[in-house]
Structure 1
Amino acid sequence: MKKFFQQYYINLFLKDRFFAALGFCVVLFLLKFFFTWLGDIPEIATVVVFILLFVDIFILYRIPKGIDAQRFTSKRLSNGDENPIQIEIKNRYGFGVNVRVIDEVPYQFQLRDKDFRLSLKSAEVKSIHYNLRPTKRGEYEFGFIRAYIGSPLGFISRRYNFDGAKVLPVYPSFINLGQYELMAVSRHLTEMGIKRIRKIGNSSEFDQIKNYVGGDDIRTINWKATARKGGLMVNNYTDEKSQNIYCIIDKSRVMRMPFGGLSLLDYAINATVALTKVAMLKEDKAGLITISETIGSIVPADRKSAQLGNIMNVLYKEKTRYLESNLEALYSSVRAVVKQRGLLVFFTNFESLSALERQLPYLQRLSKYHLLLVVFFENTELKTLSHAPAKDIEGIYHKTIAEKFIYEKKLMVKALNKHGILSILTSPQNLTLNVINRYLALKAQQRI
């Protein structure tokens, strides 16, 4: 009895057309008081309405599973990117039906508009496509797929509940990694904003001896090989390989600032994943260190194929902390872990010149043993405010303060350069491209 109640009553909904027909019957009964010639027409109309109701129930419930629905997603979602979701609907009835599909997306999205309406002919299959953009890493749980089916009579709708419960992890952005991989080896780097850097001199890593062709540098002619071969032969050099590239991510409170739905920490994590991919493509070793008031995760530099997955699994769990980063502990860990000179890309943020000055001694000590690149962020809201015209005295005050903070950011860049520390001051949306640009430039200039 309980199963019958759940299958037929809970999932049965009367539609507007039935109530309209019932209302018409009520009107006929009222008119009968004034127009006796209506006779039994109201009763007959009421009986017809209920007969149609039961016919509609019969044709929708005579098949146990008249509709199939299934959700297709990737095994994991990419943070900050548009992730495609597909729902496939199949009609098993012998007639066309109207379908309303409601997909219960994870609560983190706070979306109530994933409501789709379509018509299906007999045995027809249709797909629904939409995108979801997560802005936080973690686990996202999908709920039921609910399909409301109406026959051509349109008196009732039958609800089908398809168990689409699925928990998907949201990882750092990985959808666009293929584009960065392509750009790293392509001659068309400027299509994605990645610039080609002219090399200065030759790399010191020997690759092969090859025949001389027009345009080769005559300074690379190998005279011994030329004498043996009887034709001009030149030495071919390649970029230095197996360099240590460590991304250091600050997890302190300064990285909690939101931009475009993502925190600065999320932008730094996405840029780290992209830089790791490009560095491994260049046959360098990529590693990771996270820091807050204490040392967080450490992934020693390596270039094995599983390294990117290891770094993503670590970054998947990272969250911001509320205390200031301990750069003294970072210096000790770097000295203990990174034995050879390499490139340290430090993702952090400084909101004032005094904040930088507190950390500057530790940054100088790091730059003494490694090539240090400090990456911090522009405050885009302040930049917008400084460019907007002031309408009153209060507006002038706000604009002046905004320009002061923007000027301090420029002073930070100068202060770092003064002490021989490389820096990038960038907006969050341009972070990944700017970091990859600088890495490729340093590789081309043989500074790593």
Structure 2
Amino acid sequence: MNLYKRYILPLFFGRRFYWSFVTVILLFVLSYNWPLLFPVARVCLWFVIALVVLDYSLLFLRREGLLIQRIVSDRFSNGDINKVKLLITNKFHFRVRIKVIDEIPVQFQQRDFSVDAELDTDESKNIAYDLRPVERGEYIFNDTNVFVKSPLQLVVRRIKNEGEQKVKVLPSYLPLRQFELMAYSNNLAEAGSRKIRKIGHSLEFEQIKEYVTGDDIRSINWKATARRGGQLMVNNYTDERSQQIYCIIDKGRVMKMPFEGMTLLDYAINATLILSRVALIKQDRAGLVTFAENIGHFLPADRKASQMGHILETLYNQQTKFLESDYEKLYAHLRTRISQRSLIVLFTNFESLSGLQRQLPYIRHIARNHLVLVVFFENTELRQLTDDPASDIETLYTKTIAEKFVYEKRLIVKELQQHGIFTILTAPEHLTINTVNKYLELKARQAI
């Protein structure tokens, strides 16, 4: 919340002012032919001038006419709807009509924002609006301009609240709370995550509890059952903990492709944030690696309380590069920095089979020491082209080419799976859910 300084700027005139003077001028013009109208025109002129002076006095003699506050968080969530509120209080002794123009950060390119309202004396009004940023960085809110009219509506006073508010647009953190609650309650299915049937059970002991229908009878603890006088007791096991989960984000040119205003890199960053939080809640250790033509940031896997803050700050300033990513450097870096077998979630994009084959040897080398999950993106626009019927020869050619690229994406999936590498091919809007699903599935299978 920020309360700005108030400044009085030069006055403006309303439409009623101009129509009044147009009427007076017409009376003076007509008085050339009808002299009897001249005294009427003079009286009207002085009457309008008197009203203008009165209106000016009403609006400008009171310094504290309006109190304006902009209520906005110091950080926004990228790709999500963020709320902004303007609280306006009328300190005039009469009802006013206002027009509010808030100077929104230039990144939104929203040049037509204005709100009209009416306020009684001492009345406060909340004016709320939504903003959806699509790129990370620093955004600046500038002045809030309020144009005030009295009941006469001849003169307009502008009250300009000068001041800047800086807002950091961070990776999408608003869904974090939702996923946190669901992960704590093991109810991630409500967010779209599937329940995975476990094959076998973990050896990570959790507690001894009373037997209920559906429990594995092989887990009955006979000693505890004897102590409870015949009440069946079973050992309860939980998923193994303290496993290392590394999210590796490709920042090369393949991740610069846009989708609904955001780049693929932004979607990968948002999914990384959610996956890291879910992994920490599941008592695993979350780490982060970014790379392009060179290795960017390396954050060792950990599960300390401050780990999410480190991940968020690291992801805040990540930008795509225009060169091709160097997977050989990535492999060398992971080999020297990550000694324990880990789940490697690689966020990248392959548009052609030849593009994969250039990098496949290095991905296979990484897969020898770690469990690798390659996540890349489906081109939804191509899918739409393949679904539309062909109406002419040109459309038929376009549809054929689109089907070729879609088929090549499926070949990429098969090629990776043939080498024992787990793969997710997903639309950008489903990236987070599909990635969390796969992590829970691999954890349930004890594959890590």
What TM-score does the superposition give when structure 1 sets the normalisation length? 0.96
Aligned in 2, Cα 1:291/1:39: closer, same or farther, shift over 3 Å? closer
CA distances 1:398-433 after superposition (whole Å, capped 9, x unpaired): 111110010000000000000000000001011001
- For residues 253-291 of structure 1, give each alpha carbon's deviation from its aligned partner in whole angstroms, at most 9, with x where no partner exists: 000000000000000000000101111111111100001
Match of 2:436 in 1: 436
Aligned position for 1:410: 410
Distance in 1 of aligned mates of 2:228 and 2:40: 110
Distance, in Å, in 1 between the alignment partners of 2:292 and 2:331 is: 13
Deviations along 1:158-186, whole A, 9 cap, x unmatched? 00111241111110001111122233244
In the TM superposition, 1:2-401 aligns within 5 A as: 10-186=9-185, 188-231=187-230, 232-401=232-401
Amino acid across the alignment from 2:182:
M
Contact 1:91 / 1:121 at 8 angstroms: preserved in 2? yes
SS at match of 1:446: coil
- Is this contact kept in 2: 1:271–1:431, CA < 8 A? yes
Find the aligned partners of 1:252 and 1:189 in 2 and give their Cα distance: 32
Q: Could you list the per-position Cα deviations for residues 138-196 of structure 1 after superposition, in whole angstroms to 9, with x for gaps in the alignment?
A: 10011000000000000111001112411111100011111222332446544322111
Question: Counterpart of 1:252 in structure 2: which amino acid?
Answer: G
Moved more, 190-199 or 304-313: 190-199
Query: Deviations along 1:191-241, whole A, 9 cap, x unmatched?
Result: 322111111221110112233334322101223333444433321111111
- How many residue pairs get matched? 442
Q: Give the Cα–Cα distance (whole angstroms) in 1 for the partners of residues 56 and 188 of structure 2.
A: 62
Unaligned runs of 5+ in 2: 1-5
Cα distance in 2 for partners of 1:73, 1:39 equals 57
Distance 1:39 1:79 in 2: 66
Kept in 2: contact 1:11–1:160 (CA 8 A)? no
Question: RMSD of aligned C-alpha atoms?
Answer: 1.5
Q: Which runs of 5+ in 1 are unaligned?
A: 1-5
The residue type equivalent to 2:69 in the other structure is: Q
Which whole-Å CA distance do the structure 2 matches of 1:168 and 1:181 have between them? 25
Contact 1:376 1:424 in 2 (8 A): yes
- Percent identical: 52
CA distance in 2, matches of 1:382, 1:22: 62
Cα distance change on mapping 1:403 and 1:325 into 2, 3 Å: same
CA distance in 2, matches of 1:212, 1:23: 91
**Cα pair distance change 1:385/1:52, threshold 3 Å:** same
SS in 1 for 2:174: coil
Deviations 1:283-319 (CA, angstroms, capped at 9, x unpaired): 1111000010110001111111211111110111110
The 2-side partners of 1:158 and 1:322 are apart by: 50
Cα deviation 1:6-52 (Å, max 9, x = unaligned)? 976x4300111111111111111112122222351111110010111
The whole-number CA distance in structure 2 between the counterparts of 1:124 and 1:135 is 36
Q: Conserved in 2, the CA contact under 8 Å of 1:71 and 1:164?
A: no
1:324 shift after superposition: 1.1
TM-score by length of 2: 0.96
- Rounded to whole Å, the distance in 2 between the matches of 1:212 and 1:80 is 46
Change (3 A) 1:229 1:297: same
The answer to whether the 8 A contact 1:294-1:325 is kept is: yes
User: What is the aligned partner in structure 1 of residue 421 from structure 2?
Assistant: 421
Contact 2:249 2:269 in 1 (8 A): yes
**Do 1:82 and 1:132's aligned partners in 2 also have CA atoms closer than 8 Å?**
yes
